[in-house]
A and B are shown apart, each in its own frame.
Chain A
Amino acid sequence: MTPTRRGMMAGAGALAAASCAPVSQARVGALAAGQPAALLIWALAPERLLGWPRSPSKSSLSGLSPRAATLPQLGALTGGGGPADLERLASLRPRLILDYGDVEPEYQALAERLRMRLGAEWHLIDGALDLIPQALFQAGRLLGAEDRASALADLATGILARWTIAPAGPAFYYARGADGLETGFAGALATEVLEGAGWINVATGGRDIGRVSREQVAAWDPEAIVTLSADFVRDAASDPVWRTRRDGTRRRLLWLPDVPFGWIDRPPSLNRLLGCAWLADQGDRAMIERLGPLLYGAPSPASALPRWVE
């Protein structure tokens, strides 16, 4: 979205007015440029998050601390989701903007342009899965939450180490969305958590996210289907077309939680640690129960555990 000239001028004006007023030194607001960054700020300094790029759904809010429901929806500056209203963002007087994700040059350039318009510090942190500990340290310094960051980073390091040496898993197909016909092909960001744990993505021949036909899935013949969508489980659990393999045996269906956020995807942020932890050791409930509150500020809902659907 390109802000209008009027919006820019008004934003600059608001900023000028804001900088004239006395501002308290401690704990000023932090703005998330996209949903992945919002999760990062929420985990380390939830009291500083100014708003959600995209408000979590009602069911998601039940897995977050009460403050989450009070935050406004602001739109995203980068990445998917509705565009943000720059004037409104400027009126919140953010001193710090965090972006968490791709560090491609085009995003650096975007960061520069927006930094000039909003007059706040802009930091782009690399969102790669295996760099989560470093990202936590970096964000912790910026947010003044070094202790929390340190604790979480240690936990993350351990999880990631066990995750990379997890024993090989089944050949899987990732069913994204309610109809299950969107998937992440081998090497996609969406399936990184599963593939890194030694599971084999059967979806080949495409890049990143794409649309396939049911017959194509049948031809690939995965051992298991992995999904985050309750709607897909409801429709496909008893559908012979989805559950029957080429040799007539029953295909396994893994239903990963997506409350408050998906365990492997949606968004590509700290939430993926839960997926890594579970894949590293499927029996280790203790780790999950430790991680949930650290990431989200509330214990994971009782229902939020992966299930192999019959």
Chain B
Amino acid sequence: MKSHLYPLLMGLAVFLAAGTVMATGPLGVHPVDLIAALAGRGSAEAELALALRAPRLVAAIMTGAALAGAGATFQILFRNPLVAPDLLGVSSGAGLGAAVALLAGAGIAAVQGAAFVGGALAAGLTLVCAALARTGDPRLSLVLTGLVTGALASAGLGLAAVLAEPYSQLPTLTYWLLGSFSRATLTEAVLACLPAAAGASVVLWLGFRLDALSLGDEQARSLGLPAGTLRLIAVAAATLMTSAAVAVSGVVGWIGLLAPHAARRLVGEQASRLVPLSMTIGAAFALIIDRLSTAFGPAELPVGLLAAAVGAPAFLVLFILTSRRSA
């Protein structure tokens, strides 16, 4: 199939999934009523349904696209298909930021802000330590320092869980760590789209420069590119996207790993095709698991768990199919 058709197909999939999320749910409202509500002439119930589902839609699409885009960027940059957006410890750092805010008794908006800051700080710490390390391969030192930062943040999170007040703080923290698209209000979700979109624009602009960077610093510089600066920009943009996603939805894994893999199978390794398609696949995947999270009883299944439950087997299948092809 022609590779430029895939983005269109995936865009259609996103549209359909979004429609499903908007049209179905515990409040059994008729689609016609919903459409009337969009025009401002629906019943009170339909207005309610729209007000409830719109934030989830925005949060899911933004989170899926942002994590997938960040994952694709890192995978290209580091020429390693096993790299995930949490490479620099961003998710763990964001989790720690949120935990600290929760323990301090802050409101939901402040928790999200703290998550964003925590993620950015973790990434910053990783970058500084990697720069200090000064080994031959800058990519290796980034991976290693990212591991350390992530481990430190995780330890901090564990400590926060022990210190948390067991009746209100600990459950909130636990569920925050497991991921949810329904916690953010529409305003918060839309606000988070801003840094995510900024990061995404930068990554999309980088395009072919990412491909050059994937050849290694030496080759990139030989081609006349300011490799160090560009890599920093790419990492910063990906961090921005990941932090925004984690701030809104908590820790949702696997999308950043799986979506680029699926996209790679369809359109190959070129950044200018891989990144946009990854983001579209990520958004569709997030919408699907959002729909699944409320499909089984009144309790909302954490989307982080669902992403793993659906994503891990899908990843395995993809991996087997890919290796069969190339063998």
Contacts and interface: CB of A to CB of B under 8 A. Distances in A.
Given A241-B48, A246-B48, A216 B26 contact: yes
B165 A177 contact: no
A181 B182 contact: yes
B323 to A, nearest CB: 39
Interface string A183-215: 001000000000000000001111001111111
B135 interface: no
Question: What is the interface of chain A mostly: helix, strand, loop, or mixed?
Answer: loop
Given A57-B165, A179-B183, A181-B300, 15 more contacts: A203-B298, A204-B298, A205-B297, A206-B297, A211-B175, A211-B299, A213-B182, A214-B52, A215-B49, A215-B294, A216-B300, A218-B52, A234-B107, A245-B44, A247-B44
A178 B302 CA distance: 18
B25 A80 contact: no
B171 A205 contact: no
B300 A211 contact: yes
Interface residues of A, number: 44
Contacts of A182: 171-172, 175
B230 interface: no
Chain B, interface size category, equals 35 or more
A210 B28 CA distance: 22
A252 interface: no
Interface of A: 54, 57, 80-83, 176-179, 181-182, 185, 203-206, 209-216, 218-220, 229, 231, 234-235, 239-241, 244-248, 262, 265-267
A210 B165 CA distance: 17
A213 B163 contact: no
Contact of B170 (A80, A181, A205): A80
Contacts of B162: 82-83
Contact of B25 (A210, A215, A248, A267): A215
B167 A216 contact: no
B299 A215 contact: no
B51 interface: yes
B166 A241 contact: no
Contact of A178 (B44, B49, B107, B300): B107
A220 B26 CA distance: 9
Contact of A266 (B107, B167, B182): B167
B257 to A, nearest CB: 25
A88 B175 CA distance: 32
Identify the interface centre among B48, B163, B298: most chain A CB within 10 Å of its CB.
B298
A59 to B, nearest CB: 10
A176 B182 CA distance: 16
Contact of B182 (A80, A214, A247): A214
Interface in B142-186: 162-163, 165-168, 170-172, 175, 182-183, 185
Interface in B272-327: 293-294, 297-300, 302
